[in-house]
Amino acid sequence: MFLSTKWWLRIAFWVALIYLTLFEHGYYDFLSLNLLLAYIPVEIGFWLTPKRHALLFYPLLVVWLLFLPNAPYLLTDLVHLTLLDAYSPVTNLLINSPKVWYKFTELIITVGLGTVGGLLSIQAVVKSLSQRWHRDWLRYWLVPGVSLLSAVGIYIGRFLRIHTVYLLMPNWIVPRILTMWSSRMLFFTGLLFLVQMAAYGLMVLMQRPRSLDA
């Protein structure tokens, strides 16, 4: 019997987490924690099924929404490619260093896994909500809405350094969130929203069983 998509996704996350924990202790030692945080909303999303009891479904939905930005947050880790020193100081060209390209591959796979996991989680949860509320058209509003909230969450995590666990300290968080709004904040949030929507749209297109000539 073939494993379901969610089990393949679980296995991929677990293998990557074990590998990063055991073997990554250099440039990208932060990846294991970031990937773990990205996995939490993915796993919660598996449990948000349409038939789940409301007393469990809606509290889980809130937790899922709070942790969801951790998945696309990994996209911003791509800026750490600059740590690789991939250019020769003499020729100013890319160097063919096994270490550089190994680390490059490690980062790309981790970011890709977290991003795809987050997108699939959004798709599954939005589908569950549409079925639960018997409003199929809601998905056309929920996906952009969730992506926008997620983009704001990415900004909060990346620039304010406020992580999900700090929600237990509202007196410390609220003033910072109220004063974070600026043109640069909105610009960054808009860009990350567009990135997520583009990635989601590409994923949906790839899921359609159509040939390129159709």
Residue 96 to residue 47: CA distance in whole angstroms? 45
Give domain status of residue 30, yes or no.
Answer: yes
Is the entire prediction scored with pTM above 0.95? no
pLDDT digits (tens, 9 = 90+) for 148-175: 999 999 999 999 988 777 777 778 888 8
> Does the pLDDT value for residue 199 go beyond 70?
yes
Give domain status of residue 93, yes or no.
Answer: yes
The number of domains in the chain is 1
The per-residue b/e assignment along 18-57, b for 16 or more CB within 10 angstroms, e otherwise, is ebbeeebeebbeebbebbbbbbbbbbbbbebeeeeeeeeb
Give domain status of residue 214, yes or no.
Answer: no
Give domain status of residue 186, yes or no.
Answer: yes
Mean pLDDT of 80-98: 89
Indicate the residue type of 127: K
Q: Token match 């924990």: residue? A: 21
> Does the pLDDT value for residue 209 go beyond 80?
no
pLDDT digits (tens, 9 = 90+) for 94-146: 999 999 999 999 999 999 999 999 999 999 999 999 999 988 888 899 999 99
Percent residues over pLDDT 90 in the chain: 71
Instruction: Provide the pLDDT confidence category of residue 2 given band limits of 50, 70 and 90.
Output: low
Report the candidate in 82, 73, 93 with the shortest Cα–Cα distance to residue 152: 73
pLDDT digits (tens, 9 = 90+) for 179-189: 999 999 999 99
pLDDT of residue 3: 65
Give domain status of residue 212, yes or no.
Answer: no
From 20-24, 48-52, 81-85, the region with the lowest mean pLDDT: 81-85
> Does the pLDDT value for residue 16 go beyond 80?
yes
**Better pLDDT: 72 or 214:** 72
**Domain limits for position 102:** 5-206
pLDDT of residue 1: 40
pLDDT of residue 204: 93
Report the candidate in 68, 26, 79, 41 with the shortest Cα–Cα distance to residue 157: 68
Give domain status of residue 36, yes or no.
Answer: yes
pLDDT of residue 170: 78
Q: What is the mean pLDDT of the chain?
A: 91
Mean pLDDT of 4-15: 93
Give domain status of residue 211, yes or no.
Answer: no
